[in-house]
A and B are shown apart, each in its own frame.
Chain A
Amino acid sequence: MKKRFLKKPGAGIAAVPLWMFTLVFVAGPMVYMLILSFLTRDPSWGVVNEFTLDNYAKILNPVYAGTYLSSLKLALSTTAITLVIGYPFGYFMARLSEKWKKRLMMLVVVPFWTNALVRMYGWIIIFRSNGLLDKLLMGLGVTDAPLRLLYTYPAVLVGMVYALLPFMILSVYSSVEKMDWSLVEAARDLGASKARAFWTVTAKLTLPGVLSGVILTFIPSMGLFFIADVLGGGKFMLVGNLIRDQLFSARDWPFAAALAVILTLLTTLFLWLYRKITHVRDLEGIL
């Protein structure tokens, strides 16, 4: 990828604005955050330029370390559920006729037109006691008392999956769309059952889509905090919530910065491990 990019004459100059943008809006803030994480908090306001490792030492406190763990657990569960639902969805969507593909694509994309926070309030209406879900289940006689789903872990999980599912669907869709189906026919012709042909050919060839879907789901789910707030009722402290609270409520900027640095490192570590196990070169565009 990189090599091909550099081979084109003039590409270096053409890329200057891109490099500038990345430098100012991505690398700059990261460096600033890194520096901030080693400074000392000013008791009244802001920071004092005094080097310290206290911020990182503080993270080792089980209360904070546990927050990372529960964030990771939620992110992994979210990603797994999203994959299980999103793969078949994207797969069958790609196999529909052109007309139905477009219609379904609309349904997948339409939610993006509404603010994600607003959509989460929609889930409150569904989940709250005697809300839509309870009314439906009790009306059908499935349950006889409100489920009290709102502000529970499952509610947060549903909200996360709901918010991130389109990314998985679209990633899988685009790789299934590119499939050469004569390869599946060849596998069948050579003696593979439908299931065997799927696992040995289709699954392998659509893996890049799965991998990019996993990354597009996993990274945001490590940081999303408003879903845990809205659907978890503040009972679930995730890294995202912690950073926000340290930044805006406790006004401990250096500690917030240290938490963010560790979050970034943790996410990177996971992606690196992931890339290690999957051996897929196609990820170069994404990672």
Chain B
Amino acid sequence: MDNRSSILQVQNIVKRFGDVTVLDHLNLSVDRGEFVTLLGASGCGKTTLLRIIAGLETPDEGTVLLSGQDVTDWAPNKRNVNTVFQNYALFPHMNVEANVGYGLRLKKMARPQIQKTVSEALALVQLPGYEKRHPQELSGGQRQRVAIARAIVNSPDVLLLDEPLGALDLQLRRQMQIELKRLQKQLGITFIYITHDQEEAINMSDRIAVMYGGTFAQTGTPAQIYDEPINDYVATFVGNSNIIRGVAEAADGSYIKASLPGGTLLARKGAVQAAAGADVLIAVRSENIDLLPPEEAGLPAEVREVAFGGGMQRITLLLQDNSEIVASRHGIDSGLQAGDRVSVYWDKDKAIAVQKA
């Protein structure tokens, strides 16, 4: 990647806590103004990586470069990076104005200038006139906004956000997602955003890095991550895909012909270079599974359970190798019930071969 435009580079970062390797030789390069999301389940090391970038944690190996400068051993106060903490970490003994102006006071900015900058920042996060309130008097969403204002007011090179919307209810979350994205575009600040919510990641990011076991399972645009998952972990974590085991029969251009339980179907090759006879994993999302009458070509399956939820009917199917997959249909009545026999089929463009994570 071009060094001149990359504002943050993380190179070969290793972090161990005791015997556990939390981060295992991570590499990441982030461009100026980019919105990068670290997506992963809890305990995958994403917060540790963020803390290393902020300077709150020291890596055992590797370097952190900010605007091309090695800042690995710099104290957090020396880095032009600010963090929006998961629990907001607002100072309870200061009002909103003092909280937001904290960084500016340290920079010895003149008092009237601070007041002006703070009220601008508060207007930006839709909290105009909240200067004299105390954090204890604010709702969760408002505290969140103050925490964001307190960070962006310092115009950092990189803004780090550690699950900033984690504590908010769904509706507020959706609203804040849009606002944050707007803010990021407006200010042009580089965002590194942590979440375990794949939908949030896909909605907001320019690029997603899926973390798994202290490494990046896959890095790419939301479309790449969603449509071309590299392995079964990304396919299930991001796309809620079904994974079906099989054996490669032949490769046919950009498709792979896979022998699956009870039949043979095509899928996109993806990043997999499976030779004939090799084991393959096929990922297919529940909404992309067609259920045909049993006499048609496909994988024979038995309906196990039909459940309704979220405007969808979820049909659990048992394949011939006793593995379960889930198909989904819009609407309340799919005309299927437990015990029915069907044939599982998919369009060859709707399934993809993936590696084992």
Of B56, B89, B150, B154, which contacts A180 at CB under 8 A? B89
Contact across chains for A186 and B85 when beta carbons are under 8 A apart: yes
Q: Mark B57-100, 1 if CB is under 8 A from A, else 0.
A: 00000000000000000011100011101010111110000000
Contact across chains for B83 and A186 when beta carbons are under 8 A apart: yes
Contact across chains for A189 and B91 when beta carbons are under 8 A apart: no
Of A180, A186, A189, A191, which contacts B107 at CB under 8 A? A191
Bound-complex Cα distance A188 to B107 (A): 13
Contact across chains for B85 and A185 when beta carbons are under 8 A apart: yes
Contact across chains for A183 and B89 when beta carbons are under 8 A apart: yes
Band of interface residues on A:
10 to 19
B17 CB, min distance to chain A CBs, angstroms: 15
Contact across chains for A193 and B77 when beta carbons are under 8 A apart: yes
Q: A185-B56, A185-B76, A186-B83 are in contact. Are A191 and B89 (CB under 8 A)?
A: no
Q: Assess whether A196 is interfacial by the CB under 8 Å rule.
A: yes
Residues of A within 8 A of B83 (CB): 185-186, 189
- Please report the total number of B residues contacting A with Cβ < 8 Å: 23
Contact across chains for A185 and B89 when beta carbons are under 8 A apart: yes
Query: Which residues of chain A from 224 to 255 have any CB-CB distance to chain B below 8 Å in the complex?
Result: none
Q: Mark A175-205, 1 if CB is under 8 A from B, else 0.
A: 0000010110111111111101000110011
Residues of B within 8 A of A204 (CB): 93
Residues of A within 8 A of B81 (CB): 189
Q: A182-B85, A182-B87, A196-B106 are in contact. Are A189 and B93 (CB under 8 A)?
A: no
Contact across chains for B76 and A188 when beta carbons are under 8 A apart: yes
Of A183, A188, A201, which contacts B77 at CB under 8 A? A188
Q: Mark B225-247, 1 if CB is under 8 A from A, else 0.
A: 00000000000000000000000
Q: Assess whether B103 is interfacial by the CB under 8 Å rule.
A: yes
Query: Which residues of chain A from 241 to 286 have any CB-CB distance to chain B below 8 Å in the complex?
Result: none
Bound-complex Cα distance A189 to B150 (A): 11
Closest A-B pairs by Cβ, 5 of them: A186-B89, A190-B103, A191-B106, A188-B76, A182-B89
6 more contacts with CB within 8 A, not counting A186-B85, A187-B91, A188-B56, are: A188-B76, A189-B54, A189-B82, A190-B102, A190-B106, A190-B150
User: What are 12 pairs between A and B in contact, CB < 8 Å?
Assistant: A183-B89, A185-B76, A185-B83, A185-B89, A187-B102, A189-B77, A189-B82, A190-B77, A191-B154, A192-B106, A194-B75, A204-B93
